[in-house]
Amino acid sequence: MLEPIASEKLFYTPLLRFRLPDHEALDEALLAEGERLRGDGPGVNKSNRGGWHSEGNLFDNPADPIQTLREAAVLSVMEAVRSVTAKVDPERLEMKLFAWMNMNPTGGFNAPHTHPGAHWSGVYYVRQPKVESGNSGMIEFLDPRSDLPAWRILQSRAFRPKRKIRPEAGEIVLFPSYLVHWVYPNEAGGERVTIAFNATLRKGAGSESESEDDD
């Protein structure tokens, strides 16, 4: 008889999703602020193709809806830290956030990319047009590991080469910044509007040094 001793999750990649309660009023306010910002400038070109990408750090904007979302982003990152370790108190970490708004019209998408230098990256869905079928509205993540094709025989999600989801308005999707991801072209009639952010962490002043060894 085989006696199980242990089971570990080695080198796994966390993907977390959160929903903001009663988000509809916040979404409308964010859309209004986004339209104002888009009217002030053409934006910048990053991974966006055919859409508008805001300039600078959106979380520096003092508008109430932006700051409300910033608070939610902070809470989501803190919860993510707690989900992967009990050795670090996220309350004692310093967190630097950088955010921007994406407005993708029909045909607009975001090319595959990562967010170098950050720890966590997140996306808040302000508006997600409904579709009956297809990949519109999907965000896809690519497995950073190599040499996985042979593992497809097990039909296990843990060894799939990619994972795509279609979040709804009011959701925050959070993932490690090293994870390659992209957004499928918008096939709907209305714009898809998201606010993305990066979170970079460092030890707070006076925090105790902690070993990087998990053993």
The average pLDDT across 142-148 equals 88
> Which pLDDT tens digit goes with each residue over 78-107?
999 999 999 999 999 999 999 999 999 999
Judge whether 167 lies within some domain: yes
Judge whether 76 lies within some domain: yes
The average pLDDT across 129-154 equals 92
**Average pLDDT in the chain:** 93
Residue 54, domain extent? 16-202
Identify the pLDDT of residue 207. Answer: 60
pLDDT at 212 over 80: no
> Which pLDDT tens digit goes with each residue over 166-202?
999 999 999 999 999 999 999 999 999 999 999 999 9
Nearest Cα to Cα of residue 97 among 127, 124, 121, 114? 121
Distances 18 to 54, 102, 169 between C-alpha atoms, Å: 24, 19, 11
Judge whether 47 lies within some domain: yes
Judge whether 3 lies within some domain: no
State the pLDDT confidence band at 36, using cuts at 50, 70 and 90. very high
Judge whether 128 lies within some domain: yes
The average pLDDT across 138-142 equals 97
Identify the pLDDT of residue 213. Answer: 54
pLDDT at 206 over 80: no
Top-confidence residue, 132 or 58? 58
Please give the structure tokens belonging to residue 27: 């979404």
Judge whether 210 lies within some domain: no
Judge whether 62 lies within some domain: yes
pLDDT at 209 over 50: no
- Residue 64, amino acid: D
Count of the separate structural domains present in the chain: 1
CATH of residue 158: 2.60.120.620
The rounded distance, in Å, linking the Cα atoms of 110 and 50 is 9
Judge whether 5 lies within some domain: no
